[in-house]
Amino acid sequence: MSDWTAGYVADIGYTYGYYAELNPVQAQLALLNQGLVCPQIGAACELGFGQGLSANIHAAAGPARWHGADFNPSQAGFAQELAAASGSGAALYDDAFADFANRPDLPDFDYICLHGIWSWISDENRQVIVDFVRKKLKVGGVLYISYNTLPGWAAFAPMRHLMTEHADVLGSEGRGIVSRIDGAIDFAEKLLASNPLFSRANPQVGERLKQLKAHNRHYLAHEYFNRDWHPMHFATMAKWLEGAKVQYAGSAHYLDHIDAVNLTAEQQAFLKEIPDAMFRETTRDFMVNQQFRRDYWVKGARRLNALEQAEALRAQRVVLASPRADVSLKVKGAVGEANMSEAIYAPILDLMADHKIRTLGQIEQGVKGVGLAQVTQAAMVLASSGHLALAQDESVIGKVRKQTDRLNAHLCNKARGGNDIGFLASPVAGGGFAVNRFQQLFLLSASQHRKQPAEWAKHAWQILGAQGQKLVKDGKALETAEENLAELSAQAQTFADKNLPILKALQIA
């Protein structure tokens, strides 16, 4: 492996994932819920952007000018292709972090984000990031950082180490990382089958290995098989970030804000007895066995008074992003599955069922007997499961719509050849929305003046059939053209009836 990789997997590309937590729009509600000021974000930066899908969606769909770095030149090349397609002006480079930090053409940033990268790099690179945040994050600016966490990884960390050693020592370099991963998993399964004392002392390891085996190998290569891999306690992370002069502001995962679905009454009472907020957060991780943290930190956090917080929350705009009938009144937190109050959620969902944008204040006024605190909590629960999207101001939506249209057209065109990318950009939400390959092909057909679902299905089948590709239904490939066309027709009709109204509300279609 060549030196420029610094021990990071580079012989296989990262997945084309989209991560909603990186969306600056998401930060607003999380910080408001904590009673903190959220800055206007005009300049943003993503460190380690992978294939650059998130960075490009956010650059196209929001008002901020984005910069970013990823040391892998093939990934940076793809990211630059998307930036050119949208015309967003995103400046995305194939720099190592140290080189990027020394660029003289970077602005100061209102928002800096990195997803997972922290866990896979050396202490030297961590220090580069901390120094970069200290120098380049504006006062009042937001840092989003996610990372593998202890104690949640404590039991599986030895098994991960053993599999990485197997890949390095017994795996054949010439066969590539995927073959070495498969060999390491096979070895781990055989080891557990021998019933070692380790697995008897840590019975959850077998289930974790089973879950790991089901993952995309590109994901596993980057998540588990880098030379550096360091899950970290929250308190350790806080010590690292002291040099960046940032303060912990809260979780980017909205459901973490709802104690009732994550902690028992006894646990909540126990935590309230801990006077230090940072130690309280560390202790909470033990209660939920936290495995992955998604956190916001602010340089110079400022508190809103009660009136300012209420006014800002009431002004927050949202839109229902799922069919009303598809929204389950169940939510799963650390303590298990819980039922959402039908008296609160049903009237809110009924009001939002037309997929029109409303403020939380308008929802409060439109639903009798439900106060602002209940509306805010409902919005966070529904947004955490993807049923509700936060909405930008109309002036921003109008300004970025041409960029998202161009990016989405480019992505839908790419869907003709494969299903790598399952997201499109929404100017309403300022971020990405899940749209699978067939749905992208239907949108492509509609953009070419085919108006009926049957026409979309026929056009999609022409594309797929010409490449010898077949649909899979109930685990079996559909063999005949008639079967494939029938399945596509059914999916196109469902898309027209259920999905298209939402995509239109999000101004994707």
Longest dimension (CA), the chain: 67
Instruction: Pull the structure tokens for residue 483.
Output: 């079967």
Other beta carbons within 10 Å of 12: 15
Containing 461, the helix (H) or strand (E) segment is: helix 453-466
pLDDT the model gives residue 141:
97
pLDDT the model gives residue 214:
80
Other beta carbons within 10 Å of 300: 14
pLDDT the model gives residue 227:
66
pLDDT the model gives residue 54:
97
pLDDT the model gives residue 14:
62
Q: Is the sign of the CA dihedral 65, 71, 72, 73 positive or negative?
A: positive
pLDDT the model gives residue 4:
40
CA–CA gap between residue 203 and residue 51 (Å, rounded): 36
Domain 3-151+230-298 fold is: Rossmann fold (3.40.50)
Each domain of the chain, given as residue ranges in start order, spans 3-151+230-298, 157-224, 318-391, 395-505
Cβ 137 vs Cβ 294: under 8 Å: no
pLDDT digits (tens), the chain, 509 positions: 344 454 444 444 567 889 999 999 999 999 999 999 999 999 999 999 999 999 999 999 999 999 999 989 999 999 999 999 999 999 999 999 999 999 999 999 999 999 988 988 889 999 999 999 999 999 999 999 999 998 988 887 777 777 777 877 776 555 666 777 788 888 888 888 888 888 888 888 888 888 877 877 777 666 666 666 788 999 999 999 999 999 999 999 999 999 999 999 999 999 999 999 999 999 999 999 999 999 999 999 999 999 999 999 999 999 999 999 999 999 898 888 888 999 999 999 999 999 999 999 999 999 999 999 999 999 999 999 999 999 999 999 999 999 999 999 999 999 999 999 999 999 999 999 999 999 999 999 999 999 999 999 999 999 999 999 989 888 888 889 999 999 999 999 999 999 999 999 999 99
Q: Is the peptide bond before 24 cis (omega within 30 degrees of 0)?
A: no
Q: Report the predicted TM-score, pTM, of the whole model to 2 decimal places.
A: 0.88
Phi first, then psi, for residue 355 (nearest 5°) are 60, 30
Tell me how far the alpha carbon of residue 395 is from its chain's centroid: 26
Instruction: Pull the structure tokens for residue 435.
Output: 């749209």
CA–CA gap between residue 288 and residue 145 (Å, rounded): 19
